[in-house]
Every structure is written in structure tokens, then in C-alpha cells.
Amino acid sequence: MPLFPLNLPPSLVLGASVLTAISMYVLFGPETKTRRKKGHPTGLINYGNNCFANAILQCLSASSKFITWLENQVSSRVTPLAENLLDLMYSINGKDHRFMSEQPSSSMSSQTVASVIESLRQPQWFRTFEQQDSHEFLLYLLTSLTQCYSSEQQTNLLTSFDKEEKEDDTNRGSTGTNGTLSNIHPLVAPHPFQGLQATQLQCTQCSHKNPITVSLFEILSLTIPERRIQLFGGQKAFTLEELIGNYLKSEMIHDLKCSKCHSLEKKPFKKVTTFTRLPEILCIHIVRTIWSQYEASSTKDM
């Protein structure tokens, strides 16, 4: 029987190759645990819309600082959430633990992920097997982990810091030091993601500065400013340094009354924001959604 050469389109050949590779993977599956290279972390399997949690939990498992802090938390005060989370961190990193079996830990990991999400269901906000936002999941996770940390102690620390700043401003004069903010005694962070920032309003007419407002942050959300069109019609890509600089740049706040000005008219104020203590682990959330007058659009190109 004669054979005739076939001239197949390249796209068809490529598609057939991809289908063949997928079929081989489905039939034979991934490498077993014994054949995996040592040192490679275990991945979490998506068992129904829990990829939002998997992405965050796998990132946390790669942070030795976070695991050390979590170990200290569990040793001092055991909570179901902290204990389940620490079990999962050990499982992903392949470490022995009392809840781990000697068998491959895929089922163990899936059960522990469900346990972690289940521990966050107070109130009923996160539900297992419902898709959620990864950024909100991390915020809710950190908030839940630090609930055992006394809110009264945090308030006392913030009050003490504000009092020291006011006394320092009094010693330097009523106008302060031209917007320079300092933190002589940093707050004790309940977790390594927590940082401290300060904001201050200054009257543009008499240069009077309002008291410093201190706030805690866990995730630094950076917005993408309007793109500057370069030559040849190209768009400028922003660096991380530029986005942080845009976050810290001073802005004008209009229609505010100044307690030192004799005039009762509302004046513009300059708002200055600065970091007074950076966290051990700086988590950055880049906001890619731009709100316009009519709708919200997503920006993919950075």
C-alpha cells in the first residue's frame, strides 16, 4: 500500500503535540514522592475554588520569619486557627509533625486548608469551596491571628507614642521640624506583617501643624497613577520605587479650618505621610482596578 506524505499545518501539529502531552500526564500522572527532587516544596491542590487560599498559604510557607512567629504564638497560646495553620506550613515544607502521616500529604494538605478556612468562619464570611479574593483572605487571616493580642495594649502603646511625639514637638517649638516624623520607641508588632505609618496636616497659610495621626498597616496598597505617554506612542511602565513614592507624596486637602489662623475661612492643608516603622515582612498589594466615572477597568500591564 503506497504511502503519501501529509502536509499538515504547523498549528495542527502543535495542537496534537499539546494534546498528546496532556494525555500522557493524565494517564501516568505526576512523579511520585520518591522520584521528586529533594528540596522542592509540596504544592497545594485546588479542591474546588480554594485557589485563592492556596496562593496565600504557599507564599506564607516560604517565609521563615512568619513560621517562627507562628511557632511562638502556638507555644504561648494555642488557638485552632494558629495550630491548623502551623500544621499546614509544616506539611507544605515537608517537615514531620504530629498530625502528618508518612504517606504523601496531598489529602492531609487539602483537609488542613479546609480547616484553616473553616476557622475563619466567624462571622460567616468565608465559606469553604466558594471563590474569594486573595488580598481580602490575607487581611482576614492576619486579623484573625491577632485577635488574641490585647486591643487595650495596642491602644496604650499608640497613646504613649502620640504623647511622646507631642512632648518632642513642644521642646522643638510649635512648628515642629518641617514635617520630620520620628519614632523613638517603636511599637511591639503582634505579627511580622504589621508596620506603622504617620500622617500630619499642615496649614499652607500659617504653617501650623496638626497633631500627628498614627496608624497601623499590614498590607501596603499601591495604586497605579495615570500613565505618561512616551515618545513613539509607548506607555511608561512604573517601577516599584515610583509606586511607593506616589503613595508617600504630599497631597493638598482643601476646605479645612485652621485652629491657629485668625481668619474663619477654610484653608488648604498639605497632608504628609511617612513610614515610622516598616514591618519585618513588607506585603505589597498593587491595585490594578482603575475607577472611572462610569465603570471600573483592570490594568494588566505594569
User: What are 181-220's pLDDT values in tens digits?
Assistant: 434 344 445 789 999 999 999 998 888 899 999 998 999 9
What cell was used for 241?
Answer: 520605587
Over the stretch 83-139, which tens digit does the pLDDT of each residue have? 888 988 888 888 755 434 344 444 445 556 667 777 665 545 555 556 778 888 898
Q: Read off the C-alpha cell for 223.
A: 495604586
Considering only residues 81 and 160, tell me which one the structure prediction assigns the higher pLDDT.
Answer: 81
Number of neighbours of residue 286 by Cβ within 10 angstroms: 15
Pairwise CA distance, residues 218 & 137, whole Å: 13
Domain coordinates in residue numbering, the chain: 33-145, 151-228+236-298
Residues 188 and 157 sit within 8 Å (Cβ to Cβ): yes
CATH topology (fold) of 33-145: Cathepsin B; Chain A (3.90.70)
**What's the chain's average pLDDT?**
69
Amino acid letter for position 143: T
Q: What is the pLDDT of residues 127-184, one digit of tens each?
A: 555 677 888 889 888 888 877 554 445 555 555 555 555 555 554 443 333 443 434 3
Q: Which residues contact 288 (CB under 8 A, 6 or more apart)?
A: 224, 298, 299, 300
Which homologous superfamily is 151-228+236-298 in? Cysteine proteinases (3.90.70.10)
What pLDDT is recorded for position 25? 37
More confident residue, 21 or 147: 147
Q: Do domains 33-145 and 151-228+236-298 have the same CATH topology?
A: yes
| Cα 196 to Cα 241: distance, rounded to the nearest angstrom | 19
